[in-house]
């Protein structure tokens, strides 16, 4: 079993829809949770970063962490065609610098 | 601020040949990472440098892969000899100091195809 599981998709939704992207993990020591966005033929770029549990909001994006369920989510409101990309979750434990990555979910927003 | 630069962007070689990738991190970033990203998978850390020194190379196939960081700035990753399963995107990233919660900034990657 992988430490971080992420549905590869693709997830196709119409423009303006609310998108929910998710990752599950097995290591209860993870405390730092990140979402990276990767456009085709580009490197990943950090989108959201959350420490421990709770929600964090940044514009149209909300990151949510549920440590009791070992489940993290990224919500995108009012989705735009420019949001079409692969979304990768990544996480690490306190004191351990290495990021553990999910496989990424490919998101397609249809105009 | 200039981003992480990588070259070449694409490379096609035959198995058993050698290949080298170059990375120039963001100026002032002490930590440099090389990742391998196989199609449909997340990035896999190959090696992490802190200035000149190696912090982690536990997942680097040392029988065929080598990497160095010159004067704590640029870095080169080499594969010799290449195998078919080395076909992947090789991503270079850098961060300011290498703490676990720091943002890593990625370059565009080098796409390698081994025939």
DSSP string, chain A: --SEE-----EEEETT--EEEEEEE--TTEEEEEEEEE-TTS--EEEEEEESSEEEEETTEEEEEETTTTEEEEEESS--GGG-EEEEEEEEETT----EE---EEEEEE-
Kindly report the average pLDDT of chain B as a whole number.
93
Query: What would the pLDDT profile of B73-114 be if each residue is shown by its tens digit?
Result: 999 999 999 999 999 999 999 998 877 678 899 999 999 999
Burial of A99 (0-12, 13-18, 19+ CB in 10 A): buried
Residue reference for tokens 């195809």: B113
Q: How confident is the model at residue A2 (pLDDT cuts 50, 70, 90)?
A: confident
Query: What would the pLDDT profile of B41-53 be if each residue is shown by its tens digit?
Result: 999 999 999 988 9
CA distance A102 to chain B (A): 5
Close Cβ partners of B27 (under 8 Å, ≥ 6 residues apart): B1, B2
Query: What would the pLDDT profile of A35-71 be if each residue is shown by its tens digit?
Result: 999 999 999 999 999 988 889 999 999 999 999 999 9
pLDDT top residue among A72 and B100: A72
> Is residue A95 pLDDT above 80, yes or no?
no
Mean pLDDT within B4-25: 97
Kindly report the average pLDDT of chain A as a whole number.
93
Q: How confident is the model at residue B70 (pLDDT cuts 50, 70, 90)?
A: confident
- Chain B residue with CA closest to A95: the answer is B100
> Is residue B1 pLDDT above 80, yes or no?
no
Quick one: tokens of A103?
């496989």
A45/B107 touch (CB, cutoff 8 Å), yes or no: no
Which pLDDT value is given to residue B100? 64
User: Looking at the complex, does the CB of residue B56 fall below 8 Å from at least one CB of chain A?
Assistant: yes
Count of CB contacts below 8 A, A vs B?
A: 59
> Is residue B60 pLDDT above 80, yes or no?
yes
Close Cβ partners of B26 (under 8 Å, ≥ 6 residues apart): B1, B2, B3, B4, B94, B105
Which pLDDT value is given to residue A60? 97
Quick one: tokens of B94?
């850098």
A51 touches B99 (CB < 8 A): no
User: Looking at the complex, does the CB of residue A4 fall below 8 Å from at least one CB of chain B?
Assistant: yes
């Amino acid at each position: 079993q992988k430490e971080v599981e992420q549905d590869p998709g693709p997830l196709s939704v119409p423009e303006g829809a609310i998108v929910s992207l998710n990752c599950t993990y097995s290591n209860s020591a993870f405390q730092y949770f990140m979402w990276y966005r990767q456009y085709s033929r580009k490197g990943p770029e950090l989108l959201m970063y959350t420490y421990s549990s709770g929600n964090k909001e940044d514009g149209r994006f909300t990151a949510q962490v549920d440590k009791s369920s070992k489940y993290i989510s990224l919500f995108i409101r009012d989705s735009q065609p420019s949001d079409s990309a692969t979304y990768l979750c990544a996480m690490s434990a306190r004191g351990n610098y290495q990021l553990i990555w999910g496989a990424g979910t490919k998101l397609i927003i249809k105009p | 601020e200039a981003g992480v630069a990588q070259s070449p962007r694409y490379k096609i070689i035959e198995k058993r040949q050698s290949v080298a990738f170059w990375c120039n991190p963001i100026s002032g970033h002490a930590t440099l990472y090389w990742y391998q990203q196989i199609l449909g998978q997340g990035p896999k850390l190959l090696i992490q440098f802190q200035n000149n020194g190696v912090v982690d190379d536990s997942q680097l196939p040392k029988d065929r892969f080598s990497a160095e960081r010159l004067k704590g700035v640029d870095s080169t990753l080499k594969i010799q000899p290449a195998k078919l399963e080395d076909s992947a995107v090789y991503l270079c990233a850098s961060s300011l100091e290498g703490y676990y919660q720091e943002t890593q900034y990625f370059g565009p990657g080098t796409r390698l195809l081994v025939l």
